[in-house]
Amino acid sequence: MSTQSVRRGGTAAPSVREPALVAIPSMKTAGTGPVELLSDAQRQLLVRSAAVRHFPARTIVYRADTPAESVFVIAEGVVKSYRDLANGRRRIAAFLFARDLFGLAEAGHYVNTAQTITPVRAYEIGVDALTELFRREPDIQLQFLCKIVHVLREAQQHSIIIGRRDAVGRLAMLLRVLQKQALPRGRSDIALPMSRSDMANYLGLSLEAVSRASRRLELQGIVEFVGRHEVRILDRQRFAAVAA
């Protein structure tokens, strides 16, 4: 994975394993976990309409309310999708990881602002090219539809998180969401690529409340913070209890 220049796919695709899309499919009944949606052939078709892009950390990919020309599929890295409210608060709608999709528009404009948290490698696909591809390849479109349904479920889960009253419970639920992304590190160690402030904006809490909730989880021996960007779960039992 050492291709760094921005080049058109098609002639020398970096890998047939990208771009990848992951979700829990609507229809299937075999297995309940997330699976890869696209076939090799579908990925190859997508690569032909896509460009590989590299973004440094903290780069704004696009701003809310600007004309939407592309959608993005993350190959590597972490992105936050947020919106600044009238009262000065910032609401993070979602954290996005590898094999996630972002950049869906409304009335031709982006609704959220997308900003990288880590360095990001992503596939950019023009909306016109994608729409055309959807018409030619209904199966690809169906996989995108499944992905978006899955994103919708995550958004509903997010509103359940925000609806909770206790900060500790909310934080635990966020950690559980991040845990699913942290498979490479093992089941007990969870990577926290984002800042405490980002976590607060996602959870609908103040920065201080996140800090205090972290401390409480640690004092109770449920988790252990290793630096600012990693957590280890010590007591799975009680962790599941507070996250329930």
Partner DNA sequence: CGGACTATTGAGACTCCTCAACTAACGTGG
Partner DNA sequence: CCACGTTAGTTGAGGAGTCTCAATAGTCCG
Q: Which residues bind DNA (CB under 7 A)?
A: 165-168, 195-197, 204-215, 225, 227-228
Residue type, 74: I
Q: Binding to a copy of itself by residue 25, rule CB under 8 A?
A: yes
Contacts of 134 (CB under 8 A, 6+ apart): 140, 141, 144
Q: Binding to a copy of itself by residue 44, rule CB under 8 A?
A: no
Q: Angle 196-203/167-181 helices, nearest 10 degrees?
A: 110
From 14-22, 44-52, 82-90, 213-221, give the range in contact with a copy of itself by CB under 8 A.
82-90
Using CB under 8 A, pick the residue from 2, 11, 12, 85 that binds a copy of itself. Answer: 85
Q: What is the dihedral of CA 172, 77, 96, 215, to 10 degrees?
A: 20
Nearest to 196 by CA among 206, 187, 186: 206
Write the CA distances from 51 to 122, 123, 124, 160, integer angstroms: 8, 6, 5, 36
Using CB under 8 A, pick the residue from 4, 40, 88, 107 that binds a copy of itself. Answer: 107
Rounded to an integer, what is the distance from CA 162 to the centroid of its chain? 17
Residue 225 binds which entry of a copy of itself, DNA, none, with Cβ cut-offs from 5 to 8 Å by kind?
Answer: DNA
Residues at the site binding a copy of itself, with contacts judged by CB under 8 A: 24-29, 31-32, 67-68, 83, 85-87, 91, 93, 104-108, 111-112, 127, 131, 134-136, 138-139, 141-142, 144-145, 148-153, 155-156, 158-160, 162-163, 204, 244
